[in-house]
């Protein structure tokens, strides 16, 4: 693999193609380009007469796709998927025949030391998908009150020890600012009971999830997208969403069920089988839900 190539493994790749049923010549959307796995597979399905519109908030996968997806019928745009109507308008496309949103964090982002997504990262605690927008996570942890931090960590991370963690963060920053992901992760680990440190997932996972959601306004973007994207779908077109935690999945489930424009196709979410989970451990929590435009 060449320098700068994506290391991300697309989750539920075959399932996405099977559920979206992209035909030759169709126009479909990958709203979360990431490593380009879904976009590549969809491009192969729609063929040269078709088109894949691929969006990402992060400028790095957008730039990388120019090389890695070169020669394929893929149009790449740096944009938030909740702005899909505007993207299609600019491209003079009225409706599309399928949309996929993969809400997970990519392996490429985790591997980038300068972004702070990895707990061991020695680089700045940033956590922004688009480095040019919003407030870095380091500013949040160094300025918010203990009460506000605790509420944020509980609401977006569903972390039961949010108040202990918030107090530990405030106590630490009195001595010196928190600058890196590794520093924050260690503060969180020390703040929670020893019994939690033996769990399969890192004790810092929920706190980092909460900060990432807050910094990128992820849940608001998802809610807006779920309201707006159905109007971008042609009759019979499908919207597929892969979520990775209950806050996302709950919103997708409720939006699909409550939207008179959509028919829910997955009564229960589609999850990776044992073979997929073993090959790609980060896919274990993935849940795919699909709905069709009426």
Domains of the chain by residue range: 13-108+219-293, 113-217
* SS3 state of residue 232: helix
What is the domain class of 113-217 according to CATH? mainly alpha
Element spanning 78, H or E: strand 74-78
Neighbours of 72 (CB within 10 A): 19
- Residue 131 CB partners (closer than 8 Å, separation 6+): 59, 115
pLDDT band at 122 (very low <50, low <70, confident <90, very high): confident
Name which residue leads in pLDDT, 185 or 8. 185
Supply the pLDDT for residue 3.
43
This prediction's pTM: 0.92
Average pLDDT of the residues in 199-213: 90
Element spanning 213, H or E: helix 205-216
What is the domain class of 13-108+219-293 according to CATH? alpha beta
Angle (deg, nearest 10), helices 162-175 and 181-191: 130
Residue 278 has pLDDT above 50, yes or no: yes
Length of the chain: 294
pLDDT digits (tens, 9 = 90+) for 222-271: 999 999 999 999 999 999 999 999 999 999 999 999 999 999 999 999 99
Strands annotated E in 90-166: 96-102
pLDDT band at 290 (very low <50, low <70, confident <90, very high): very high
In degrees rounded to 5, what are phi and psi of residue 287?
Answer: -135, 125
Average pLDDT of the residues in 184-213: 88
Average pLDDT of the residues in 150-158: 97
pLDDT band at 174 (very low <50, low <70, confident <90, very high): very high
Report the mean per-residue pLDDT for the chain.
92
């Amino acid at each position: 693999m060449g320098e700068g190539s994506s290391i991300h493994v697309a989750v539920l790749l075959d399932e996405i193609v099977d559920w979206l049923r992209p035909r030759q010549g169709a126009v479909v959307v990958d709203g979360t380009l990431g490593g380009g796995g879904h976009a590549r597979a969809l491009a192969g399905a729609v063929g040269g007469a078709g088109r894949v519109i691929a969006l990402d908030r992060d400028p790095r996968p957008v730039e990388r796709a120019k090389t890695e997806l070169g020669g394929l019928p893929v149009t790449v745009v740096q944009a938030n998927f909740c702005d899909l109507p505007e993207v299609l308008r600019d491209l003079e496309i009225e409706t599309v025949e399928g949309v996929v949103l993969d809400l997970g964090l990519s392996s490429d982002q985790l591997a980038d030391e300068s972004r702070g997504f990895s707990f061991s990262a020695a680089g700045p605690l940033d956590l922004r998908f688009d480095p040019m927008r919003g407030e870095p996570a380091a500013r949040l942890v160094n300025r918010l009150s203990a009460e506000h931090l605790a509420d944020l960590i509980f609401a977006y991370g569903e972390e039961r020890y949010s108040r202990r963690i918030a107090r530990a963060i405030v106590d630490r920053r009195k001595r010196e600012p928190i600058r890196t992901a590794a520093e924050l992760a260690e503060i969180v680990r020390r703040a929670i009971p020893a019994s939690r440190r033996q769990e399969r997932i890192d004790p810092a996972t929920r706190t980092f999830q909460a900060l990432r959601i807050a910094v990128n306004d992820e849940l608001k973007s998802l809610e807006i997208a779920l309201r707006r994207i159905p109007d971008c779908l042609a009759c019979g077109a499908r919207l597929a969403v892969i979520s990775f935690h209950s806050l996302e999945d709950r919103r997708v489930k409720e939006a699909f069920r409550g939207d008179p424009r959509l028919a829910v196709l997955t009564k229960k979410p589609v999850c990776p089988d044992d073979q997929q989970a073993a090959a790609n451990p980060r896919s274990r929590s993935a849940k795919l839900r699909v709905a069709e435009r009426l």
